[in-house]
Structure formats: structure tokens, C-alpha cells
Amino acid sequence: MNFPLLPGSTIGILGSGQLGRMLAIAAKQLGYRVAIFSPDTDTPAGQVADVEAVGDYLDEERLADFAQRVSVITFEFENVPSRASEVAAQHTIVRPAGSVLHITQERLREKTFLRDNGFPTTPFREVKTYADLHAAARDLGLPAVLKTASFGYDGKGQQKVYAQSDPEKVFAGLGGTTGIYEAFVDFEKEISVVAARTADGRFAAFPVFENRHANHILDVTFAPAAIDPKLAKEAVELAAGILEKLGVVGLLTVELFVTKSGKLLVNELAPRTHNSGHLTLDACVTSQFEQQIRAVCCLPLGSTALRQPAAMANLLGHLWEKGEPNWAAALTDPHVKLHLYGKAQARPGRKMGHLNACARGVDAAIARVTAARERLVS
């Protein structure tokens, strides 16, 4: 389908967390109906959708029934079994295609795709056995990072390996699954490019975001990134090449390292909206969520222009440890925007919401949003 899917149609979303919630809100603002499919009930996305269908992603009968009731299916996260995409595609349009999901949901396939297609990435080795681990350490050196091949995000499923590490303990950390051993990158900063591509090959990228992490979880993102404009252009060109090679229809995020020598290395891909792109809700002409809807529905892509320098700060569950945060205190700055995800239970490390703020400069935006977050527990 290369013709527009018009408002009034029903968009199906696999996954029901906060990304699905914000995606559903964007779809409804454009006049679409939204149906959510996931194994859970009373979910962040289900709270705002027209239909919340409950079923296992591998329940082919339920999934087929769901697919027949929607005009297109897209994803809020990549850890949906690729078989689910195959089943859905027998009954409706699926964007991005299952082939994109298959590559990006498994680190080894993803790294192999990047390497084989000439995109710069960290040297890596597959690790299935104890002997593989020793060989990888010999070839790529130490320190290094050992990751599980599947189901890793926000620092989960990975550990740093040092010369003094206990090899047996390190290998046991894989839990019997296939791993990927990556050479350690002494990078200067982490950036991301959130970009969209339509079925007829139109491409648009948001300004490059710079990301700061705490305890392996994204803490603060700001735009524009504090990098040389030539490097920003190179990052966007890399993203364009990756989306084209994968044949993405929809949105894809490219996470990159900027090395201390000024080189770019692709770290990971996410075939969806991204935590770093949340600031687009208040800082850009078009949000990343609206852009994904536009792309999968074959509508013209929206402007990705940044209205003002902006920053985003994540709100994690520890902010609730002493009770409900002081929302009024955070919002005493009228330039701060609050986005909560409708999650019933706060837990340490769990993403419960975020704050956005714009200002005349990046430093001022960062100061504004982090100060607002600090006032939540003051």
C-alpha cells in the first residue's frame, strides 16, 4: 500500500507500554481509531486506545482476529516475537516489516547486518561456549562488554568484562543463552538519530540528540547535540543509509557512540520511537509519535524542525519512594511540560514519565528540566 490510509481507519499497535500510549495519542489527534494488542490489561496504551485486545503474542488465532480488524499494524517495541509479525502480515499491512523486526530484536543479527553492509560498528564476536569467550577476549582484548543476544535494553543483559574478571562467572551471566562479545569503546558521548521513511522512500530525520545515562538508563537528553555540524550530518546520513538498506517503513532510531577521535560507531538500532525522542513532543514541529503514524499511513512526513533548544529528563520509580512527587513544585516553571505514563506501580528503575523544557540555549534547557525534577522530592 503506497496510497494514504486516511483518518477514520483503525491502526493496530503491538505492545502497550508508554511508547504505545504516546503513539496512540498521536494517532487519535490525527483522527484515527487505535487498537492495542498485548498480554496485559489496564496498560498505559490501553488506557487511551479505542480497543484493548488481550492475548499472547504467540496466540496465532487471537492475533489473526486482531489483524483482520485493523487497517495497518505497527510496533511500540521490538521484542515482539517475529512470528507474530508473520501471522499479522497474512491478514493486514505490517510496518515496519517483520524482516526489520527480525534483525533488530537480536543483537548478533543486528551487528552482523551493520558490519556486512559497511556501517561502522564495534568489533564483536559470537559467544556460545566457554571457549568462545576465551577466543573473543584473545582477539578483541579487555576490557570488553558481554551482552545477551536477545532482550536487552536500558542496560539489561550486559556486563563489562575486565582482565581481573572471573571468566566462569562472566560466562554464567549469560544464563545459557547466546552472547555477543564487543570490544570496549572509550567514547566521548552518546548520540541518537530518530528518523522516518515512507513506502515510497521519503526520509526525514530529527535533529541529532545527545544522551546522558545514569546506571545504564537514559537520564537526560538534549538537542541540538553538542557536536560538530559535519558530524551531525554524517550521523543523519548513516541513519538514512540504514533505513534504506533495511527497507524501513515507519520510524527507526540509530544509537551511536562518538569516539574520542571524533569517529562515529553505530551501537544499536531500535525500529520504533525512542526515549531520547520524547523531547520532540514539545520541542519540534512534529513529534516522533506523529511522525511514525504519518509514515506507516503513507501520509506526507511532518517537519522535524526544532522550535527551540530543548531537554528531556526521565522520571524513574525512585522518585515515588516517599510518596507522590510534588508535581506542583515541578510545574512552578511555566516552561516545563509533564508527561506521565499511567503506570499503577512505581519501582526503582521503572520509567514512570518524563519532563520536557525548552529555552534559548541547551544549557539553560538542561538546567530548567533537571531543576524541575529535583523539586519533585524537595
Same domain, 23 and 134: no
Confidence check: pLDDT of 365 > 90: yes
Same domain, 174 and 26: no
Same domain, 356 and 319: yes
Q: What is the mean pLDDT of residues 329-357?
A: 97
pLDDT at 135: 92
Residue pLDDT, tens place only, 143-175: 999 999 886 666 667 888 898 887 678 878 888
Q: Is residue 109 part of a domain?
A: no
Q: Which three cell numbers stand for residue 342?
A: 499511567
Confidence check: pLDDT of 89 > 70: yes
Q: Is residue 341 part of a domain?
A: yes
CA-based radius of gyration for the chain = 21
Q: Is residue 235 part of a domain?
A: yes
Residue pLDDT, tens place only, 97-133: 999 999 999 999 999 999 999 999 999 999 999 899 8
> Of 94, 112, 144, which marks where a domain is finished?
94
Q: What is the pLDDT confidence band of residue 176, given thresholds at 50, 70 and 90?
A: confident
Confidence check: pLDDT of 222 > 80: yes
The identity of residue 116, as a single letter, is: D
**Helices (DSSP H) in the chain: which residue ranges?**
18-29, 60-68, 82-89, 98-104, 107-116, 130-140, 167-172, 229-246, 280-283, 288-296, 327-330, 362-375
CA 153, CA 301: separation in Å to the nearest integer? 28
Same domain, 295 and 210: yes
Least reliable range by pLDDT among 129-133, 233-237, 289-293, 300-304: 129-133
Same domain, 207 and 354: yes
Confidence check: pLDDT of 207 > 90: yes
DSSP state of 3: S
Q: What is the mean pLDDT of residues 13-26?
A: 98
- Number of domains making up the chain: 3
Q: Is residue 88 part of a domain?
A: yes
Same domain, 177 and 209: no
Q: What CATH number should be reported for the domain holding residue 146?
A: 3.30.1490.20
Any idea which residue has 535533529 for its cell?
Answer: 207
pLDDT at 152: 60
pLDDT at 168: 75
Same domain, 236 and 312: yes
Same domain, 165 and 209: no
Same domain, 236 and 143: no
pLDDT at 11: 98
Same domain, 303 and 371: yes
Q: Is residue 216 part of a domain?
A: yes
pLDDT at 264: 98
Residues 296, 194, 95, CA angle at the centre, nearest 5°?
20
> Of 132, 165, 183, which marks where a domain is finished?
183
CA 93, CA 5: separation in Å to the nearest integer? 11
Residues 10, 13, 14, CA angle at the centre, nearest 5°?
145
Higher pLDDT, 154 or 218: 218
Q: What CATH number should be reported for the domain holding residue 31?
A: 3.40.50.20
Residue pLDDT, tens place only, 32-77: 999 999 999 999 999 999 999 999 999 999 999 999 999 999 999 9
Q: Is residue 222 part of a domain?
A: yes
Any idea which residue has 480488524 for its cell?
Answer: 69
Tell me what the pLDDT averaged over the chain comes to.
95
Least reliable range by pLDDT among 136-145, 189-198, 278-287, 295-304: 136-145
Q: What CATH number should be reported for the domain holding residue 227?
A: 3.30.470.20
Q: Is residue 328 part of a domain?
A: yes
Same domain, 227 and 342: yes
End-to-end CA distance of the chain: 53
Q: Is residue 118 part of a domain?
A: no
Per cent of the chain over pLDDT 90 is 88
Same domain, 162 and 194: no
The identity of residue 358, as a single letter, is: C
CA 162, CA 148: separation in Å to the nearest integer? 17
Instruction: State yes or no: cis peptide before 224, omega within 30 of 0.
Output: yes
DSSP state of 271: S
Give the domain extent around 207: 187-375
